[in-house]
Structure 1
């Protein structure tokens, strides 16, 4: 008779991890609702800091868990608000860009758990967050917005109220949306760096 003892495999999502993910998803959903307009941007573009919560999940639990928090946040918000005339494209856009942000930052930090690499992870994540937003906006999001809000001329009119020299959608995205998205990513990264260390023991279940 063999005396070999088979080691039990630790499940990827432990009960505690699921509870923490659910808690962070709920917080992210609430923060997502606390969006606000910003100067020098059209009224339909809002700032929110929900990616702070997703980044916390990525750093404390893992990159996949951060993506799951992004997904739950957007699914819950979509269920509450409904798809509307834009077919939920704002939520889809937010999920894809936020997931890319959290996955990138989380993967870097997972392999190099130092403060230096945490900063690098946040910067690289913010850059990915920004770069991926341009083709998504230009080819998918804004064509749907054109149909929902009265055509391309109506959208461009909002940008021209801010800068009369805007001549095309691509120019508007480069002049306004790209800098805004990068600032949003950096702001979320900075807040995450400030609060992660004191919250890390609680999120990881360590005293």
Structure 2
């Protein structure tokens, strides 16, 4: 009798041990699989974003050295799907891929600006969205992201980017770049009006358009990705 009880206990312990090993292995496999999927998606979104950097749209109210592009769309989608860290990684990888395809023509000033402006948009947007994944939080996040990107863009252009571009273009005075703004908009006469009438609306329009497009396509894209990864 005692031997039978001991045998049953041994079997239960052994089966429990097997279950524990299986559960641990399953979690390990799922974690590794999830990591692989995230890395793959980050690379795909970054590659798409790098390509979109070459689709530039000139705007009538800004000088020709400012262009509108939609490279933040895949970056923001990645941020909403996988979090702000993945968003920053996608943003950084986007710049690296772009530089591999075509070396910098602005001594990395343009790439640095694109990275900083992109991060100032996608980080607050994704943080707010991840607090509660609802449409209301997505809209609020993108609105805050647009506002912060606009502020960062104004600050960086006034104190970093325009002086850097002036230096790169042969050490010309910053006023020469301001004059380019005056050509397209006579109301621009100094740095303040340049920032208010060119840089600020450019970033607001970019943030608004990217936000609207992501709002419209995010769910269909994520459903498609989930369906593909579920079967993989």
After TM superposition, the score normalised by the length of structure 2 is 0.81
Kindly name which structure, 1 or 2, has the bigger radius of gyration based on alpha carbons.
2
CA distance in 2, matches of 1:108, 1:32: 26
Structure with larger RCO (C-alpha < 8 A, sep 6+): 1
| 1:167, distance to aligned residue in structure 2 (A) | 2.6
Decide which of 181, 189, 199 is 1:159's aligned counterpart. Answer: 181
| 1:112, distance to aligned residue in structure 2 (A) | 0.7
1:107 matched to 2:127: yes
1:168 matched to 2:190: yes
Decide which of 143, 152, 165 is 1:132's aligned counterpart. Answer: 152
Q: Is the 8 A contact 2:95 2:111 kept in 1?
A: yes
| 1:11, distance to aligned residue in structure 2 (A) | 5.7
Q: Is the 8 A contact 2:81 2:222 kept in 1?
A: yes
| 1:105, distance to aligned residue in structure 2 (A) | 0.8
Show CA shifts across 1:36-95 (max 9, x none): 2111111110000111111100111211111111111112212333233x3111110110
| CA RMSD between the two structures | 2.3
Decide which of 75, 81, 88 is 1:54's aligned counterpart. Answer: 75
| 1:148, distance to aligned residue in structure 2 (A) | 2.5
Decide which of 123, 128, 136 is 1:116's aligned counterpart. Answer: 136
Alpha carbons of 1:50 and 1:41: their partners in 2 closer, same or farther (altered >3 Å)?
Answer: same
Show CA shifts across 1:3-48 (max 9, x none): 7x59556369711111111111111111111112111111110000
Misfit runs of 4+, over 3 Å = 5-13, 203-207
Query: What are the residue-to-residue correspondences of 1:57-206 with 2, within 5 Å?
Result: 57-84=78-105, 86-149=106-169, 150-204=172-226, 205=229
Query: What are the residue-to-residue correspondences of 1:23-62 with 2, within 5 Å?
Result: 23-62=44-83
CA distance in 2, matches of 1:107, 1:12: 24
Unaligned runs of 5+ in 2: 1-12
Give the number of aligned pairs. 206
Unaligned runs of 5+ in 1: none
Show CA shifts across 1:137-167 (max 9, x none): 1111110111233332321221111233423
